[in-house]
Structure 1
Amino acid sequence: MAVKFNPSRLKLARTRRQLTLKALADRVGMSSRMVSEHEKEYCKHIPQEETIEAFSQALNYPVSFFLEQDSIESVDKETVSFRSLKSMRAAQEHAAIGAGQLGVMLNDFFEARFNLPSVNVPDYRGIEPEASAEAVRQEWGIGYVSIGNMIHLLEKHGVRVFSLAENTQDVDAFSFWKDGVPYIFLNTMKSGERSRFDAAHELGHLVLHRHGVPQGRDAEYEADRFASALLMPKVTVLPYKGRAMTIESILKLKAKWKVSAMALIVQMKNVGVLSEWQYKNLIITASKMGLRTREIDGIPRERSLVFDKIVSSLDEEKGGLLILAKELHLPLDELSALLFRMGVVHSGNISIRKESQLNKKPHLTLVT
């Protein structure tokens, strides 16, 4: 017996699993052409229940996901900042955009049930990255102190920060604006220090390139300059000028700003703390120590407290993540991957006031 079926959800699930039409067709025992027909918006071939079940098993998505009639909003590729576009395969790019679509869906679900922090991300198009970073610090009331937690800061100002559990570093981070809401996605394979820099880099894109991200080296260089200035303000780095900087002192000092050794060396060069000779020697030494890809005495990776608290508030005793996955008709692995593989987090930084009635939105606040 034929049932209702959502073709766009089949395509999304396939791209998330990075399968070609042929690969999925081989798994379900049909032709590539027939799978393609099932993905078309006006599908003439409504699949039978056994066919949908075959799609479900092949893609590890629940049958109910394909039967939901609500459309999942598209994310325009032209609005997305990809840091490693040249090294990405098409399948990786499509899968990442699919993660973006799921993130938007999750945000819509959360916004309908919780009062999330309102968006407060300035538009500094046309302004130099360093000046923009300083302006963000002043507007957000940070001053020149070291940023304790980059993700918490972003969430406080309305940025929706999701994680990516893509099994590759070719997709390290990306961001975009959608319906006036800023989104950032961070790869969980990166070190804590590099993830913080990625978060600041993507904030740079949101601030500097709000109405479309110009792909290319110039845009990436601008976002890097913004991130460096945001995490390591010039005024806090300059006092070290004239000191004898060794790799040991760099490894000790990087904890002050919670950045990688390489990022600190580059910023010290950019603001005039290091001479060209000092810079080259430190880069050579750091490279020999493997500090381009790893950290010594690294920091824990940051994660979202907003999403942790939302999930734990749904049902602390029965497993909020499982309940959420069932309600959204999503596989648990996809949900966990987007929400920092979250568990119950106890913290005084974020609190949610629960209401006894479902039609009342709990208000989520950041407590300083």
Structure 2
Amino acid sequence: MLTPSRLKLARNRRGLTREQLSKLAGITTRSLLAYENGTQRPSPDNLDRLAGALDMPTAFLRGGDVDEIPVEVISFRALSKITAGKRDMARSAGRIAVMLARWIDQRRALPTPDVPNLVGADPEKAAEALRNQWELPAGGIDNMINVLEAHGVCVFCVAMDCREVDAYSFVWNATPFVFLNTTKTAERTRFDAAHELGHLVLHAGAARPARGPQAEREADRFAGSLLMPRASILASGLRNASAEHIIAARSQWQVSAMALAYRLHELSLLTDWGYRAVCVDLARLGYRSGEPRGIAPEHSQLIADALQAAQPGPSLVAHAADDLHLTVAELETYIRGLIPAGGAVMHRRTPPRRPTLTLLP
């Protein structure tokens, strides 16, 4: 039997209107509307057609009822520039990730969320308060993803077909979620992680979470302050630093050269003229569009542990996909980049059973 809310979730996940799904599945739009409203049940043949058109196992469409994540609780960047279709694709992907988080929690208990509610605080002071609460080291942070997960924040990838929305975050049933675009450089992904944490700290706890350019600037300030603490930067000896000095020093905080230059300017260690000159030099050296000789990508220990704890099957990811009634390709889109590509955790297979010897009388 079809679950109407799952049909709508799957349709939005694929970015399809009812008219588009009608053509793909060969089912009338009127019937699709009736299916989603729960006033009509599809025949087994039509259910199979829907599953095929949506590239979802039939079992997914038959699963338990799911509730939608409201648009207003998600910290989409530049929401006005995102089409409604892309927004709903990302929102639906986020809802499927909530299911994956529950699966992970059943195999490796998730830490209790420990994200402070500092709505209205100055971003720099909020970053300092969070550092104190989480007892982070005075200098750089080794692994932002692991730090987030250790404090109850679930971290997943932005689905490849939703990359236009960039990173985003929300709180669902008291659990904070952060979605990262892992196709970026590791430095920019770390900054995105800190930026989305800023939204969770500064905005998510409000009755009406702040949105728009001002909220984005506040999250950026929080991220810069968290990754590059004021005291650590002031003690670095980088006053009036050249582009070459900034490139050499960036690894201390594991940030991009451009982000470090901005932070130096923000703390008045670079003049307006000096900052502009450094940015020109960094752009000429390729640091505006990339991060030459950058750091290695960060990975999720929590997801790796949960996959390892799963009962052996054809592969760890295939086992998880089967449990969640997803295709392997769909599940991988939420963890790609967070697990080493082609690594043992991603594709470890069940060892072959050794033959037993039976002695006949």
TM-score after normalising by structure 2? 0.89
Distance change in 2, residues 1:283/1:86 (3 Å): farther
Per-residue deviation, 1:241 = 5.3
* Aligned equivalents of 2:194, 2:240: Cα separation in 1: 29
2:89 aligns with 95
138-147 or 263-272, larger mean C-alpha shift: 138-147
1:154 aligns with 148
1:28 aligns with 25
1:278 aligns with 274
Which residue identity is paired with 2:173?
D
Which of 57, 66, 75 aligns to 1:62? It is: 57
- 2:42 maps to 1:47: yes
Per-residue deviation, 1:34 = 2.6
Which residue identity is paired with 2:289?
T
- Once the two structures are superposed, residues 79-122 of structure 1 have per-residue CA deviations (whole angstroms, 9 ceiling, x without a partner) of 11012323311111101111111121222233344322111111
- 2:164 maps to 1:170: yes
Per-residue deviation, 1:234 = 1.0
Distance change in 2, residues 1:242/1:192 (3 Å): closer
1:18 aligns with 15
* Aligned equivalents of 1:316, 1:251: Cα separation in 2: 45
Per-residue deviation, 1:288 = 3.6
Per-residue deviation, 1:223 = 0.6
1:144/1:233 contact within 8 Å kept: yes
222-231 or 27-36, larger mean C-alpha shift: 27-36
Per-residue deviation, 1:222 = 0.7
- Once the two structures are superposed, residues 260-310 of structure 1 have per-residue CA deviations (whole angstroms, 9 ceiling, x without a partner) of 111111111001110111101112222344433311112222221101110
1:194 aligns with 188
**SS of aligned partner of 1:175:** strand
Which of 295, 298, 303 aligns to 1:302? It is: 298
* Aligned equivalents of 2:3, 2:250: Cα separation in 1: 50
Distance change in 2, residues 1:219/1:235 (3 Å): same
**SS of aligned partner of 2:164:** coil
1:335 aligns with 331
- Once the two structures are superposed, residues 188-244 of structure 1 have per-residue CA deviations (whole angstroms, 9 ceiling, x without a partner) of 222111110110011111111123421111111111000000000111112345645
**SS of aligned partner of 1:81:** coil
1:78 aligns with 72
Gaps of 5+ in 2: 347-361
75-84 or 30-39, larger mean C-alpha shift: 30-39
2:351 aligns with none
Q: How does 1:194-273 map to 2 (within 5 A)?
A: 194-209=188-203, 210-211=205-206, 212-240=208-236, 243-273=239-269
2:12/2:85 contact within 8 Å kept: yes
Distance change in 2, residues 1:61/1:336 (3 Å): same
Which residue identity is paired with 1:173?
A
**SS of aligned partner of 1:170:** helix
2:97/2:334 contact within 8 Å kept: yes
Per-residue deviation, 1:145 = 2.2
Q: CA RMSD in A?
A: 1.9
Distance change in 2, residues 1:213/1:290 (3 Å): farther
Per-residue deviation, 1:317 = 6.4
Distance change in 2, residues 1:10/1:168 (3 Å): closer
- Once the two structures are superposed, residues 21-40 of structure 1 have per-residue CA deviations (whole angstroms, 9 ceiling, x without a partner) of 22211111133333232222
1:24/1:58 contact within 8 Å kept: yes
1:109 aligns with 103
1:163/1:338 contact within 8 Å kept: yes
